Amino acid sequence: MQADGAGFEMAIETAVMASGDPAHLVRAGLLDRFHRLRMRSTALTSRLSDEDMGAQTMEDVSPSKWHLAHTSWFWETFLLEPYLPGYEVFDPRFGFLFNSYYEALGERQPRAARGHITRPGIAHVMAYRAHVDGAMERLLETCGEADLERIAALIETGIAHEEQHQELILTDIKHVLSVNPFAQAYSEVLPPPAQPGPAAGWIEHAGGLEDFGAEANGFVFDNEGPRHKAWLAPFALSTHCVTNGEYARFIAEGGYETASLWLSDGWARVQAEGRKAPHYWRGAPGEWREFTLHGEQEMDLSAPVSHLDYFEASAFAEWTGYRLPEEREWELAARQFNAGSARPMTPDGWLHPASADQANLFGGVWQWTRSAYAPYPGYRAQSGALGEYNGKFMCGQFVLKGGSALTPPGHIRASYRNFFPPQAQWQMTGLRLAKDI
Amino acid sequence: MQADGAGFEMAIETAVMASGDPAHLVRAGLLDRFHRLRMRSTALTSRLSDEDMGAQTMEDVSPSKWHLAHTSWFWETFLLEPYLPGYEVFDPRFGFLFNSYYEALGERQPRAARGHITRPGIAHVMAYRAHVDGAMERLLETCGEADLERIAALIETGIAHEEQHQELILTDIKHVLSVNPFAQAYSEVLPPPAQPGPAAGWIEHAGGLEDFGAEANGFVFDNEGPRHKAWLAPFALSTHCVTNGEYARFIAEGGYETASLWLSDGWARVQAEGRKAPHYWRGAPGEWREFTLHGEQEMDLSAPVSHLDYFEASAFAEWTGYRLPEEREWELAARQFNAGSARPMTPDGWLHPASADQANLFGGVWQWTRSAYAPYPGYRAQSGALGEYNGKFMCGQFVLKGGSALTPPGHIRASYRNFFPPQAQWQMTGLRLAKDI
Amino acid sequence: MQADGAGFEMAIETAVMASGDPAHLVRAGLLDRFHRLRMRSTALTSRLSDEDMGAQTMEDVSPSKWHLAHTSWFWETFLLEPYLPGYEVFDPRFGFLFNSYYEALGERQPRAARGHITRPGIAHVMAYRAHVDGAMERLLETCGEADLERIAALIETGIAHEEQHQELILTDIKHVLSVNPFAQAYSEVLPPPAQPGPAAGWIEHAGGLEDFGAEANGFVFDNEGPRHKAWLAPFALSTHCVTNGEYARFIAEGGYETASLWLSDGWARVQAEGRKAPHYWRGAPGEWREFTLHGEQEMDLSAPVSHLDYFEASAFAEWTGYRLPEEREWELAARQFNAGSARPMTPDGWLHPASADQANLFGGVWQWTRSAYAPYPGYRAQSGALGEYNGKFMCGQFVLKGGSALTPPGHIRASYRNFFPPQAQWQMTGLRLAKDI
Amino acid sequence: MQADGAGFEMAIETAVMASGDPAHLVRAGLLDRFHRLRMRSTALTSRLSDEDMGAQTMEDVSPSKWHLAHTSWFWETFLLEPYLPGYEVFDPRFGFLFNSYYEALGERQPRAARGHITRPGIAHVMAYRAHVDGAMERLLETCGEADLERIAALIETGIAHEEQHQELILTDIKHVLSVNPFAQAYSEVLPPPAQPGPAAGWIEHAGGLEDFGAEANGFVFDNEGPRHKAWLAPFALSTHCVTNGEYARFIAEGGYETASLWLSDGWARVQAEGRKAPHYWRGAPGEWREFTLHGEQEMDLSAPVSHLDYFEASAFAEWTGYRLPEEREWELAARQFNAGSARPMTPDGWLHPASADQANLFGGVWQWTRSAYAPYPGYRAQSGALGEYNGKFMCGQFVLKGGSALTPPGHIRASYRNFFPPQAQWQMTGLRLAKDI
């Protein structure tokens, strides 16, 4: 997923419209989902101070306030301006400040300077959200039948978009809270009891000619399609994500000192940064601790390792003699062996991979595949600003499958293609081993 | 002045002690000044949001919150820890976060990451201030006669230090407010009426062998001494600081396109940045406006030009055929022709150079001299952490004389040596022309 | 291909050994090929001054002298040290200077500082070459029957390796000669007469389940295998590479000013560099000229455009409404419709894409595909230093197919996978359009 | 001295003209000096390969070839073009390549890319020199009486300029030869026998009102004047430059680990680079060796330490409790106590500070003063391109006095003001201690 949280497209027919419900029920249903979505976004920031919400502690991180404003700008730009007659933008300067990356929509605040936006303040952004929420209500209540289908499809997109930013709010605030000596906890929830380590095992698949990509029965991002055929050789995926304990062994046995395990670019980074462990690990071998959204915690050795970049995931796989999966291997296994639902993320729950997540292919972490993020056969970006969501990032990134402890439930599906550049460490990313059979 | 606001030393005998007052009056007098000082620091931030106070919009800028905490750390470190028996530091982690540059006092937060300190929050920093204020009261009430002289001298230093940070709070918040499309005003005070442009004129001086540097009759920074002799050739200083109108003419006549006017390093910067006007100028020739602490305002063409870096000041002087003053020329002129008091800065007043400031040699802006910041003959930095204030910055900077619309009155004196590197633009800096006669 | 020219592995059985020739003929045949190879490398530099051969005009470029020394070091390291009893390395310091990127072989000269190696000088490097050549003769004459098979396989690798560096010598010296006002020609050969522009046309293929990768009947690099199945949808490739004329139209119609055509990273580069045309284009629309190894020449509008980076190739394809090929589409078309031999590169010939190259799928330029450079199913890097050739670069690069006017004939085959990062401009790279059918 | 070797101005009346010799003797005398100058420049490169002469191993270093060409361009630009009727420039492209920093003379090769100039080659540059030499002969033989005085003055300038570049040729080639494992010697001359360490002693001076700057009796650079008065307090200078042995003790006693000794900028560099010793020191405490123009040599502990930057010199002085001299203190001492001639530099001699140099105030090294490089009172840069030599560098640099083992004799005088930025390490720079008395 693009760090700006977008990168997608809308289904031609949404599930809602396909349901055959009468229009007034469609309106009511969408409005209800919209309200719940919007409340959850602000709920995610309820524990944060104004200062927490304004800081940008590295270029990839966006302030929470920016996320709250950008998601509102998205509704304003793609729904309200085109479809609500007489709508007036809340503040014309917000287009500059809260456009993420849409070239078609003009100049914008440099990404690295999002932390400089002290004005508008939080209260002002909250007023913006209220203004947009009210207008969205009016839109849903008053739009004509003729527009409803298109509007419903755009709303599905907007919901998916804001949900992506919900995950980013958590991911980014974790970095913000991590960089000073207080190591402040985002949430005071206590860790679940550690489980015994997962038993080793393999999910085998005979490969062959199969269909891949999303089927047209609900909202999906455009990069999940088109549906297409591909041939896979026989393979197996591990039944569990690599655990902290396994990764600690890799460290103890010299993983970070052994050039031959690493991709060339990865080794250069390890050397330049003197890296010795994953990004949020604290302490030292034998007594590892981990910075989490619940503060610094003892390491749960049987939980999935997280916050690996692609280079670390690849080096670990090389060390074991196995390899990273192809994205289509993962999709196939997920479709066949897994009901496809991960532990639902809630702001009141445990916001970190837990040993219990191992029971599920989706596994509590986003899982690096060795597949570069590229268009599926037949893929074409749509025209207009929304066409910038996915296609323009198809270079230099890798696909991740699964979903993490921070991922909203609606984003947990076998066809979902998350993507990040190989050096990304601040995402909740781990791996599952694969092998040829 | 060092951007961290310090860079000084204490007088051996403070004015207070020299007064011959009985000890209880000395204690009461110091406490009263301390209280007023501390209240003014917080008053300066009363118009700011928590987000304004946390942001760092370039490396030179420190967040207001950081200034409030750092000045408290200073009292804690140099007064309370050594002299108040049983004092407990408010939070041992603050030493890391709020030490500015004292190597002798250990590791510290990287300067460029002061904007990442979302915790402690404002309320926490205010509690820190209250904790320190209470302890300072106890110190002054309970310290023995034997320590009082030394403590009084350190308090003078601490007051001067915090006053420097008051100027920096204003200087830095100006940058913070300037970088987004809102161009938010710090204060709603309206501009004073513009005066007619100053009449050209010269203050002449025959030069000769003179004494320079501070005389020992009150608190001064260590870099203002020792008192020493130097020989000056005859010279003249302009009776007014260069005005916005004069500088606008320099621009209109191609100043920023004429390499021969510029120092080599300055020309490289102008080229690299495509610079066309001083930092806070907005608009275009013929319709210049200026960003001020009172928001964006029409340019007062008869007011002193401000926010020039040394290269701009030097190029302007070259263009006129005159030159920048030597620091000792300025000191001599100030001592002889000027009572030495500038318009007092108050948070309720006009926080920008005004045309009326021209009546005064101190002039509403800090004035670049062509004297590199170097030790006076016989200068030795004292030992210990306080010795780091001045000596270690005597390289690559230039001396500025005068004082700006943001300078606390206690820092307006002929011997004062402010200093900044030649590329500094965010300070309220201008120039006064000089010539040989 | 890695800029260091390597990145490969040897076939288990070489064609030579498979021929069934008696051992003395195998020895003689290998020696003959070795001699011709080595002479051609030095012949390529015969027109260059010592200064030309020492300069490094950007980090990607290596000096010709370095190439001549590095290829000798390769023979010394992988053949002579392990297999020639009593061999003494020419100079033990050369291992540091002329190791390209083999972590397993220890520390080495920083890549960006290859131009700092003024000593050894050219004469010294030539003595090194002679020393290695003599020892290789002895090795081939004296090695036992038992080792001959392994040695022959390594010699195949060494030949392929040095041939890659022959292409790099030309590619790199082109950059060196281009960066000063003399625009010195490498060769005085005159351009061939321009041909009429190629007729538009498509090579269609029905797709389906096919075999890909090298078959085991001659030397190939390890990344060309293993042979594996894959499914392709129906597609078509253009019968010609995009021409200079077509690309000039893209420029004229605003290609470099239209954000929506570009990948996000590509657009950022275009903006940051103010790029307006391919790297070696000179002049302006309507009167384009081009810097070539034959000096600055009039643009042949019907010849393939070259020195595009991936972003330019991708933006051009987007502009046409077509797309870049998948690497397997290209391989399939090449196998089916083309005898697979490109115009042989010779130092006495025309070292630039010509309109006549259009007759051939290999086309005079390396052709960007949209396939990220990744391992084929079942690929495993071998162990030891030679295992560093390919696997460790499988991240962030794209596959190119075909071969350029600078490519030695032995590197022109359908299964060959050249690879470069998307921002590489100094390679002779262009594109061929593809579409779904 | 500017790294480009220039930075000066010509005396209004040259010594030659002032001599009252008849014009034909003036012509002959100038021509003779010109010839000897030019021959010595090329002689300095006679031991170098073409590759040595082309390399630029860091931005401050210029290739020897560039120096040979730039000095010729200087004669062409300032003498031949304006004064020799019908003169044709050798190659109009050379103006771009070999202009150092004269903005008034147009665009030029970026400084950091001087090592990219493989064409023109050495032979071409030698032809350029011959072309210029011939034309200079014609100029001196044919110019009218009326022009002779001005031409003679310009020739003095040109001689001084090219002599500065002779010193730079040696300084720069030292860096080039130092950066690879061969540590190639520039000259095979053997080191002179070490002398006993210098006895400690002080040259005392009572200070007072004195005259400074060059007197008008021979060629001097414009920055050496105007002659002016200044007042100095009583001071003393050490009778010897700091030795390698003394500096080794500073290292052994923790100089590089003690923050309080260092200027703030210097400490930041020491930390960032992990510096532990001067730039060309090799080995470790107790067994120091030094890279010199005569290859790597045992350290002569009684010879002056060299290649210190200002920060190292300043920290060393701080460590001793003494200080660096003011430039005027040095000038005064030199005038009073020293005949003013240093060991003459010859390409056949020992090109490194020797213990015997201690007998002389000029001392074998350039000596850092704590005086920032600034205009003397009354200084004005002349108009035109030659006005760019000195004035535009008067910012951020420090004055050095004395002269090094690489300095041509004509540059050894009390009024000479060399200048470099504080971080310069590649110059032959050391220090002499001073104190107040």
User: In a mutagenesis test of the A interface, which of B119, B125, B172, B173 is the best target, namely the one with the most A β-carbons within 10 Å?
Assistant: B119
B196 is a domain residue: no
- Regarding predicted confidence, which is higher, B208 or A217? B208
Q: Which token pair is A103? A: 């070239």
| Residues, chain D | 437
Read off the amino acid at residue A234. Answer: P
Contacts of C103 in chain A (CB under 8 A): 259-260, 267
Final residue of a structural domain among B163, B178, B193: B178
Interface of D with C (CB under 8 A): 49-57, 65, 93, 96-97, 109, 113, 115-122, 176-177, 179-182, 184
Q: With an 8 Å Cβ cutoff, are C394 and A229 in contact?
A: no
* B109 in the same domain as B231: no
| Cα C243 to Cα C354: distance, rounded to the nearest angstrom | 10
Q: With an 8 Å Cβ cutoff, are D49 and C118 in contact?
A: yes
pLDDT in tens, A257-288: 999 999 999 999 999 999 999 999 999 999 99
Question: Mean of the pLDDT values across residues B352-364?
Answer: 86
D363 is a domain residue: yes
Q: CA nearest B387 in D: which residue? A: D260
Q: Quote the minimal CA–CA distance from C70 to chain D in Å.
A: 16
Read off the amino acid at residue A76. Answer: E
User: In a mutagenesis test of the D interface, which of B229, B261, B262, B392 is the best target, namely the one with the most D β-carbons within 10 Å?
Assistant: B392
Pairing of strands D418-420, D208-212: unpaired
Chains in contact with chain A (at least 3 beta-carbon pairs closer than 8 A): B, C
Q: Which of A55, A65, A109 sits opposite B115 (nearest CB)?
A: A55
What pLDDT is attached to residue A345?
62
DSSP state, B226?
S
- Regarding predicted confidence, which is higher, C182 or D72? D72
Q: For chain A, what is the total number of helices (H) and then of strands (E)? A: 12, 12
Q: Quote the minimal CA–CA distance from B182 to chain A in Å.
A: 7
**Positive or negative, the Cα torsion across D157, D159, D162, D163?**
negative
D242 is a domain residue: yes
Pairing of strands D228-232, D208-212: antiparallel
Q: From residue C287, how far is each of B180, C197, C280 by CA, in Å?
A: 44, 18, 14
Is residue C415 within 8 Å of C303, Cβ to Cβ? no
Reported as a pLDDT band with limits 50, 70 and 90, residue B105 is confident
Interface of B with D (CB under 8 A): 101, 103-104, 209, 228-233, 259-260, 262-267, 310-311, 314, 326, 370-372, 374-375, 377-378, 387-388, 391-396, 422, 436
Beta bridge partners of C238: C202
Find all residues with CB under 8 Å of A235, minimum gap 6, and list them: A204, A205, A207, A325, A326, A329, A434, A435, A436, A437
B10 is a domain residue: no
Residue-averaged pLDDT of chain C:
90
* B148 in the same domain as B49: yes
pTM for the complete prediction? Answer: 0.93
Q: With an 8 Å Cβ cutoff, are D184 and C119 in contact?
A: yes
Q: Which of A336-340, B51-55, B176-180, C296-300 has the lowest mean pLDDT?
A: A336-340
* A156 in the same domain as A47: yes
CATH number at C257 reads 3.90.1580.10
pLDDT in tens, B245-270: 999 999 999 999 999 999 999 999 99
Chains in contact with chain D (at least 3 beta-carbon pairs closer than 8 A): B, C
Q: Is A203's pLDDT higher than 60? A: yes
Q: Which token pair is C158? A: 């060494």
What pLDDT is attached to residue A18?
54
Q: Which token pair is D5? A: 């070797």
Q: From residue D33, how far is each of C89, D30, D73, D169 by CA, in Å?
A: 51, 5, 18, 20
Q: Which token pair is C141? A: 């004459």
Surface-to-core class of residue D430, CB atoms within 10 Å of its CB (0-12 exposed, 13-18 middle, 19+ buried):
buried
| Cα D375 to Cα D382: distance, rounded to the nearest angstrom | 13
Q: Which of D55, D177, D181 sits opposite C97 (nearest CB)?
A: D181
What pLDDT is attached to residue C388?
76
Of the candidates A421, A429, A414, A408, the residue with the CA atom closest to the CA atom of residue A165 = A408
Of the candidates B421, B429, B432, B425, the residue with the CA atom closest to the CA atom of residue B2 = B421
Is residue D176 within 8 Å of D66, Cβ to Cβ? no
Is residue B189 within 8 Å of B223, Cβ to Cβ? no
Task: Write down the residue that tokens 């972590």 correspond to.
Answer: C103
Q: Is B278's pLDDT higher than 50? A: yes
What pLDDT is attached to residue C143?
93
Is residue B224 within 8 Å of B213, Cβ to Cβ? yes
The DSSP secondary structure of D304-318, one letter per residue, reads BP-S--HHHHHHHHH
What pLDDT is attached to residue D217?
72
Contacts of C311 in chain A (CB under 8 A): 395
Is residue B390 within 8 Å of B334, Cβ to Cβ? no
Question: Mean of the pLDDT values across residues B19-30?
Answer: 85
Is residue B165 within 8 Å of B41, Cβ to Cβ? yes
Contacts of D73 in chain C (CB under 8 A): none
Contacts of C313 in chain A (CB under 8 A): none
Question: Mean of the pLDDT values across residues A415-423?
Answer: 96
| Cα C218 to Cα B124: distance, rounded to the nearest angstrom | 74
Q: Is B92's pLDDT higher than 80? A: yes
D190 is a domain residue: no
ipTM over 0.95: no
Final residue of a structural domain among D178, D213, D242: D178
| Residues, chain C | 437
Q: CA nearest A181 in B: which residue? A: B93
Interface of B with A (CB under 8 A): 49-57, 65, 93, 96-97, 109, 113, 115-122, 176-177, 179-182, 184
What pLDDT is attached to residue D103?
82
* C429 in the same domain as C307: yes
Of the candidates C79, C199, C73, the residue with the CA atom closest to the CA atom of residue C128 = C73
Q: Which token pair is B345? A: 């800065």
* D370 in the same domain as D229: yes
Reported as a pLDDT band with limits 50, 70 and 90, residue C180 is confident
Q: Is C215's pLDDT higher than 70? A: yes
A320 is a domain residue: yes
Which helix (H) or strand (E) is A166 found in, with range? helix A145-178
What pLDDT is attached to residue A15?
46
* D54 in the same domain as D105: yes
Q: CA nearest B95 in A: which residue? A: A181
* D208 in the same domain as D168: no
Is residue C270 within 8 Å of C256, Cβ to Cβ? yes
- Regarding predicted confidence, which is higher, C64 or D361? C64
* A212 in the same domain as A114: no
* Side-chain half-sphere CA neighbours of D223 within 13 A: 24
When divided into structural domains, chain C yields a total of 2
Q: Is C340's pLDDT higher than 70? A: no
Contacts of D371 in chain B (CB under 8 A): 374
What pLDDT is attached to residue C90?
97
Is residue B413 within 8 Å of B30, Cβ to Cβ? no
Which helix (H) or strand (E) is D36 found in, with range? helix D23-43
* C427 in the same domain as C365: yes
The share of chain C scoring above pLDDT 90, in percent, equals 76
Contacts of B378 in chain D (CB under 8 A): 233, 436
* D52 in the same domain as D127: yes
Q: Quote the minimal CA–CA distance from A93 to chain B in Å.
A: 7
Question: Mean of the pLDDT values across residues B356-369?
Answer: 88
pLDDT in tens, A178-198: 998 888 999 999 988 888 888
Q: From residue A394, how far is each of A103, A402, A420, C312, D321 by CA, in Å?
A: 16, 19, 10, 14, 63
Q: Could you tell me the end-to-end alpha-carbon distance of chain A, in angstroms, rounded to an integer?
A: 31
Q: CA nearest C115 in D: which residue? A: D55
Per-residue three-class SS string for B18-75: HCCCCHHHHHHHHHHHHHHHHHHHHHHCCCCCHHHHHCCCCCCCCCHHHHHHHHHHHH
Helix axes B64-75, B145-178, angle to 10 degrees: 170
* D297 in the same domain as D148: no
Contacts of C231 in chain A (CB under 8 A): 209, 229-231
Q: Quote the minimal CA–CA distance from C181 to chain A in Å.
A: 35
What pLDDT is attached to residue D8?
36
Spatial strand order in the sheet of D432-436:
D202-205, D235-241, D432-436
Reported as a pLDDT band with limits 50, 70 and 90, residue A200 is confident
* B164 in the same domain as B131: yes
Reported as a pLDDT band with limits 50, 70 and 90, residue C15 is very low
What pLDDT is attached to residue D390?
72
Q: Which token pair is D222? A: 């414009």
Q: With an 8 Å Cβ cutoff, are D51 and C54 in contact?
A: yes
| Cα A198 to Cα A303: distance, rounded to the nearest angstrom | 9
Contacts of A45 in chain B (CB under 8 A): none
Low-confidence ranges of chain D (pLDDT < 70): 1-19, 216, 338-347
| Cα A325 to Cα A429: distance, rounded to the nearest angstrom | 14
Task: Write down the residue that tokens 């000013």 correspond to.
Answer: C257
B190 is a domain residue: no
Residue-averaged pLDDT of chain A:
90
What pLDDT is attached to residue D3?
37
Domain encompassing residue A240: 202-436
> Where do the H-state alpha helices sit in A45-144?
50-54, 64-75, 81-83, 94-98, 122-142
Q: Which token pair is A380? A: 């074409």
Q: From residue A84, how far is each of A87, A88, A132, C432 by CA, in Å?
A: 6, 9, 11, 45
Contacts of C104 in chain A (CB under 8 A): 259-260
Contacts of B52 in chain A (CB under 8 A): 118-119, 121
User: In a mutagenesis test of the A interface, which of C102, C373, C395 is the best target, namely the one with the most A β-carbons within 10 Å?
Assistant: C395
Of the candidates B345, B337, B357, B330, the residue with the CA atom closest to the CA atom of residue B415 = B330
> Where do the H-state alpha helices sit in D143-193?
145-178
A334 is a domain residue: yes
Q: Which of B97, B113, B119 sits opposite A184 (nearest CB)?
A: B119
DSSP state, C262?
S
Q: From residue B139, how far is each of B72, B85, B133 by CA, in Å?
A: 15, 9, 10
What pLDDT is attached to residue D231?
97
Q: Quote the minimal CA–CA distance from D312 to chain C in Å.
A: 27
Q: Is A342's pLDDT higher than 90? A: no
